Structure 1
Amino acid sequence: MPDMEPFEVRELRYFVAVAEELSFSRAAERLGMAQPPLSRAIRQMERRLGADLFRRDSHRVYLTELGVSLLDHAREAVDAVQAVSRRASRAAQTTPSLVATAKPGIATEILRHVVREFESLAGAPRVEIVVSGFREQTTMVRDGRADVAVLGSPFERKGIEVEVLAIHPRVVALPADHPLTERRRLTCADLQGEPMPIWAKSSPSDIAYSSGRDRGSAIAADEGPVAGPTVSDPAQLLEVVSLGQAIALIPAWLAERNPRPDIVYAPVLDASPYSTVIAWPEGARAQHVARFVRTATELYVPREVHA
């Protein structure tokens, strides 16, 4: 049987858009094109495969088993091509630049410190700092929008390499009138059965970490936490706790920066720590990226910071 003609990157972009939106009209809007040519392109892909990527009815579009299996590979291919284009464009500039990203908080503070030190080195390129949102950093490194990122636990390791810069213990944030505030020693098992906030876009492993059911806990990860409200930033999380809607495991540094009369912070003896890391693309060989990483690791010798 002859090999099938390879998909074009354009076709994979179309497929990913429809797979993520589960709507041809929304995907077409996202791609900035009309719906009919998008539908034709997907049908052409299916004809070449000899199988359907999507099931369609009058109410919805959903992925077939083949479509599900193709999606991750298609994303990786699209990200890889975008990454090559973006990094080549930056390297071709008259004055080469490096893009570094982090979310607000301790990560941006560390990043600013590293950038100041890096830019003081002879021949170092200009660094553009991009403040990114929750869970955006690893995607930006993989698809080339950023060359390096400072991020914290938990994070997806796929497609990136990391070096640890700092390790912080985690504490539990409790409403001031919660019965657990009377306990002098707490473990993850003591938190079982309590509602905990769910971070937006969390994977099962993220939820296990956030609830103390990861490898650092004696509680089995598959037991599952009691789901509290969904949150998207630390300020929202602390408000949820203060209102008595949930308790939360948080980095000790976040507790230290947010003393409040309506929240009590308590150590949790067996909670796995919060790590802050520097991340860069897997297999990257660019000298300025390696130099930036080396600057970061020389400034921040990884050690556990006790609460």
Structure 2
Amino acid sequence: MDTSETGAAVEIRDTLETRELRYFTVVAEELHFGRAAERLGMAQPPLSRAIQQLERRVGVTLLQRNRRGVRLTGAGEVLLAESRAALDAVSAATRRTRRAGGADRPGGPRTRLVLALKAAGSHELLQRLLDAYAAEPDAAEIEVLPCGMCEQAELLRDGRADVALMHTPFNSLAGFDSEEVLTEGQIAILPARHPLAARTTLTLADVSDIPDLPLARWPRHGSYPPGPGPEIHDQTQLAQLIALGRTTAVFPDSARAWLWAEHAAVPLSDAPPVVTHLAWPAHSRSLALAGLVRTATQL
């Protein structure tokens, strides 16, 4: 075999199809070929053959099979992480292309950007940003997508959002470009009738050790951190539990905008500042997004 033939063979072996990655990802998540086949809507034998063919193509064992079941090898764990990232990238490309394509059709809608933000984000900041951007020539339509705590990164990576308001130190900006748009302190949100509500300031130690008022717990990476506080699913539930004297929470100062009369906000003297960033995928080349970022930096 000459050099050109060898190069072609390597190129074929190094090329994986999204169908193969999707099959492998489902099997790796279920660790059971029968359940994976049911989830994929196909028979088990062709799924098993597809995984075997994938292992031959990459040249390593991805799954250990025995009488006790299926488990991932070290190489399989690597491919699972890479497969999820690749499938997210394909989904993101499809979603963003469809949004951009609508503006290319005669009489079609104008360019649209999807902005993700957590429900408790700064309403004042968002309104200022949207109003200033809407006044720009050729401004895109902005669709606001509320999301749960720390979900902005996932929405950016899979293409459901083009840009997001993210908050450090709570959100990770790894893999994104960003611009700082707001820095603020933090507050403890307490029941208005609680004795600590009368204090002018509190510390993080104060709010983390209130026997009758445990800190609320938000999900992180699919699970809740340990602790006695209630598991919170949305902002309305949190507001009600605080008003009832069942929990407390720590938020950026701008959260005062959604407080009820039954709530009290007390500044935290030793909490690190919260920085709000406008963040977007590092590879983005959207002119509409560039205009929004420019507007944000001028606010």
In the superposition, the TM-score normalised over structure 2's length comes to 0.74
Match in the other structure for 2:115: 101
Match in the other structure for 1:222: none
The AA in structure 2 aligned to 1:199 is W
The structure 2 residue matched to 1:11, chosen from 20, 23, 29, is 20
Show structure 1 runs of 5+ residues with no match: 208-224, 300-307
Q: Secondary structure at the match of 2:215?
A: strand
d(CA) in 1 for partners of 2:122 and 2:29?
29
| Aligned residue pair count | 279
Post-superposition offset of 1:146: 2.3
CA gap of 1:189–1:108, structure 2 versus 1, over 3 A, is closer
CA gap of 1:111–1:252, structure 2 versus 1, over 3 A, is closer
Alignment of 1:23-172 (within 5 A): 24=33, 27-28=36-37, 31=40, 33-48=42-57, 49-53=59-63, 63-92=72-101, 93-94=104-105, 95=108, 97-102=111-116, 103-106=118-121, 110-111=125-126, 113-153=128-168, 154-172=170-188
Post-superposition offset of 1:18: 3.8
**Is 1:188–1:270's contact at 8 Å kept on the other side of the alignment?**
yes
Post-superposition offset of 1:188: 1.5
Q: Does 1:257 find its partner at 2:258?
A: yes
**Is 1:107–1:276's contact at 8 Å kept on the other side of the alignment?**
no
Q: Does 1:201 find its partner at 2:220?
A: yes
CA gap of 1:66–1:229, structure 2 versus 1, over 3 A, is farther
Q: Give the percent of matched residue pairs that are identical in Structure 1 and Structure 2.
A: 39
d(CA) in 1 for partners of 2:39 and 2:131?
38
| Higher Cα radius of gyration | 2
d(CA) in 1 for partners of 2:193 and 2:270?
23
Alignment of 1:207-218 (within 5 A): none
d(CA) in 1 for partners of 2:115 and 2:236?
20
In the superposition, the TM-score normalised over structure 1's length comes to 0.73
Match in the other structure for 1:284: 284
**Is 1:149–1:278's contact at 8 Å kept on the other side of the alignment?**
yes
Show structure 2 runs of 5+ residues with no match: 1-5
Q: Secondary structure at the match of 1:145?
A: coil
Alignment of 1:211-290 (within 5 A): 226-261=227-262, 263-290=263-290
The AA in structure 2 aligned to 1:276 is T
Post-superposition offset of 1:107: 5.3
